[in-house]
Structure 1
């Protein structure tokens, strides 16, 4: 039986620029069964899940549920819930964590996503206490968080391909491994999000994931199988990976998407064009011209969805810009 992941892989659908967009991630441990819309269809209070989703979405964030891998995951219960809050901006990537009792999860309603999103550069590495209510928020200093999408109620590919990958990662060690409800892109399963940098990956093997995690531990980014950094939108993700591919730059914090400009639509043309400026911490800059269009044989975005032509982002021009003048 064909699946969305098989169809996407067979037609070599490009991965670059397909990561979910989120500058801030709130992850809540919630074992037990997950429905298709896990924030409101799980053992988490649905009103709380809906409120957190709305608050995070309004300020460039996403909320997801997590649980430890294993056959026990869907039947497990817990009196305490591990919670992670992560920011993925270059130079300001961090993770804070706390543990809350079930009746204490309501304190998450007080999270100030607006304050987190508008803090000046450098401040996000030490969020104000007013933005992080509740006791016990501490810097997370463990292994990189490796989050594998496994929610079969949302798409069967995530369960069939994600759960074995998560189990292999646990066995190999070197990462803090969790199953996660949704990071987008079922057809690229197995999919992975690595924090604190927020790079997403698709179609990975356990060996490849080990390389990704080892790189993150050293402050680096592997581009093989990479879908993009969640801090940026689709054009920014594609441009970042294009610069890394052409320059060999691997340091996670070396590059910033400093400008994204959509060109006016051309009459009678359905494609979109973008100009993206990527800046290096050493002052170098590049302009990446992109073209976004629906092209190729129809593919389902997820299992059971109607096939449609996949939207791809192509690099049409790449140039290094002159160094800015200094006075």
Structure 2
């Protein structure tokens, strides 16, 4: 199936990307030049101590707790140091992730530096205030050819858009695989931690400026990485109701009930508006068989798999 592209298949069957944002408490971004191997940390000249640290953390910590990613932008790289960025999720009501950015002179010092911070139980004390947005676009073509075909083209488009805009607080990065290559070109927008799918110049401008037709989110939004999949479905519904202003709200979730039998969930989403008032919404998130699809979910796949799609039922907002 050399001519098969999973991203094209996903578009053709009209798969809804919502509920497909990965959920991590901590993202560790390490600046490292391309090309990357299929397993990014097997790339040429990645220090052995960094590989060992990632393997150790992967073994000891929940795989849904932390992820290490390689990032690169030739125009942003400094010749005398490697940039390391840690995004981590605080507790309670939040708009996204907190940030720590470091410049480390020697790539061999990245691992011991990360150990110092990641094993500190009070990571909060290192928080840095920043207005910078970091947008990560997957171009990891050695992992999946959709990210090569669609991701690389869009990465160049995104850089050009930023270069021709007044948005000097936005940085664009290539990033190694973070899941969801069938949604290529796919991206994560930090510090929010929101995931996007099937981006083009028009939808990217909407995300950058938070203007335009909010209903585009029904096609390009994978979900908010601070929320589990079922709550991501509800959160998009709230976007449709509150518009772009929703991006300024803080949120926190609660799973009231989960059924293994039919994969349904009763969920609650608390949110604080910019005027300081609080509210919450409650709804049932259920499988919608009329929208669910069968597809081959990655380019090297052989057999189609059932992909459930979800709907929001019994929604009630309490303000």
The two structures have a TM-score, normalised by structure 2, of: 0.81
Task: Tell whether 2:298 aligns with 1:302.
Answer: yes
Number of the residue aligned with 1:161: 150
Q: Is the 8 A contact 1:212 1:222 kept in 2?
A: no
| TM-fit CA distance, 1:314 | 2.0
Sort the Cα spacing of 1:56 and 1:205 in 2 relative to 1 into closer, same or farther, 3 A: farther
State the number of aligned residues. 294
Number of the residue aligned with 1:22: 24
Return the alpha-carbon distance in structure 1 between the equivalents of residues 43 and 304 of structure 2. Answer: 27
Q: Is the 8 A contact 1:15 1:227 kept in 2?
A: yes
Number of the residue aligned with 1:10: 12
Secondary structure at 2:309 match in 1 = strand
Return the alpha-carbon distance in structure 1 between the equivalents of residues 74 and 267 of structure 2. Answer: 39
Return the alpha-carbon distance in structure 2 between the equivalents of residues 57 and 69 of structure 1. Answer: 33
* Aligned structure 1 segments of 4 or more residues deviating by more than 6 angstroms: none
Which of 152, 155, 177 is the equivalent residue of 1:182? 177
Aligned residue runs from structure 1 range 208-287, under 5 A? 208-215=203-210, 223-224=217-218, 225-248=220-243, 250-266=245-261, 271-281=262-272, 282-287=277-282
Report the more deviating stretch, 145-154 or 285-294.
Answer: 285-294
| TM-fit CA distance, 1:109 | 2.1
Return the alpha-carbon distance in structure 1 between the equivalents of residues 30 and 237 of structure 2. Answer: 33
Secondary structure at 2:206 match in 1 = helix
Sort the Cα spacing of 1:313 and 1:114 in 2 relative to 1 into closer, same or farther, 3 A: farther
Number of the residue aligned with 2:55: 50
Which of 64, 70, 73 is the equivalent residue of 1:68? 73
Secondary structure at 1:248 match in 2 = helix
Sort the Cα spacing of 1:255 and 1:278 in 2 relative to 1 into closer, same or farther, 3 A: farther
Secondary structure at 1:251 match in 2 = helix
Deviations 1:100-154 (A, max 9, x none): 12121122122236736xxxxxxx7xx224xxxxxxx854443x11100010111
Return the alpha-carbon distance in structure 1 between the equivalents of residues 223 and 204 of structure 2. Answer: 15
Return the alpha-carbon distance in structure 2 between the equivalents of residues 261 and 293 of structure 1. Answer: 20
Secondary structure at 1:15 match in 2 = coil
Q: Is the 8 A contact 2:87 2:191 kept in 1?
A: yes
Q: Is the 8 A contact 2:96 2:191 kept in 1?
A: no
| TM-fit CA distance, 1:55 | 6.0
Report the more deviating stretch, 36-45 or 273-282.
Answer: 36-45
Aligned residue runs from structure 1 range 171-210, under 5 A? 171-173=160-162, 174=167, 175-210=170-205
Deviations 1:263-296 (A, max 9, x none): 3444xxxx21101111221222211211147874
What value does the CA root-mean-square deviation take over the aligned residues?
3.0
Secondary structure at 2:38 match in 1 = coil
| TM-fit CA distance, 1:33 | 2.5
Number of the residue aligned with 1:98: 102
Return the alpha-carbon distance in structure 2 between the equivalents of residues 221 and 162 of structure 1. Answer: 23
The two structures have a TM-score, normalised by structure 1, of: 0.79
Q: Is the 8 A contact 2:227 2:253 kept in 1?
A: no
